[in-house]
């Protein structure tokens, strides 16, 4: 039975992340999404260190971002990150960045990660630890 997992991470916009248009530079967002992913990972036990200690890397192979509205210094955004269940040996996340003052959606994104071993060889099948993680969270 499939449900889903979600987490919300508040962002602090750094002065250095704002460009000369006074908005967060578009290339900063992969960092924000990674912050959310690591936050999710820490919450549910799927962070880099856990993956690494199980013998794997989980590199990003796809990243799709739609920028709806700019973020400015002083705004209080949050990233809502949602795990998208999949049977493939992949980790798929959907993201929304919300301006918590206006409740407007400023960005949506999706990332796809695959698994490799420590020699960076692609794993075609779900690693055992990942299958067990999915079971433990009622995702399969």
Q: Which residues bind its own copies (CB under 8 A)?
A: 12, 14-16, 18-23, 25-27, 30-31, 34-35, 38, 48-49, 57, 59-68, 70, 73-74, 120
- In the structure encoding, which two tokens stand for residue 60, read together? 């990003």
Kindly tell me which of 75 and 140 has the beta carbon lying closer to its own copies.
Answer: 75
Minimum CB distance to its own copies, residue 43 (Å):
14
Kindly tell me which of 6 and 14 has the beta carbon lying closer to its own copies.
Answer: 14
Strand (E) positions, the chain?
6-10, 56-57, 60-67, 77-83, 90-99, 104-114, 116-117
Kindly tell me which of 112 and 140 has the beta carbon lying closer to its own copies.
Answer: 112
Residue 45 exposure: Cα atoms within 13 Å on the Cβ side? 10
Cβ(11)–Cβ(32) under 8 Å?
yes
Minimum CB distance to its own copies, residue 66 (Å):
5
Short-list 82, 83, 86, CA closest to 97: 82
Minimum CB distance to its own copies, residue 28 (Å):
8
């Amino acid at each position: 039975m499939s449900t889903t997992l979600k987490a919300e991470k508040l962002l602090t916009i750094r002065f250095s992340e704002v460009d000369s248009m006074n908005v967060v530079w578009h290339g900063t967002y992969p960092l924000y999404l990674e912050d959310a992913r690591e936050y999710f990972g820490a919450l549910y036990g799927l962070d880099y260190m856990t993956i690494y200690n199980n013998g794997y890397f989980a590199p990003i192979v796809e990243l799709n971002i739609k920028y709806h509205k700019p973020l400015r210094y002083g705004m209080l955004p949050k990233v809502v990150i949602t795990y998208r269940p999949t049977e493939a040996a992949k980790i798929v996340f959907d993201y929304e960045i919300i301006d918590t003052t206006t409740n407007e959606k400023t960005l949506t994104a999706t990332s796809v990660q695959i698994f490799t071993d420590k020699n960076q060889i692609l794993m075609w099948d779900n690693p055992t630890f990942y299958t067990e993680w999915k079971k433990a969270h009622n995702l399969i």
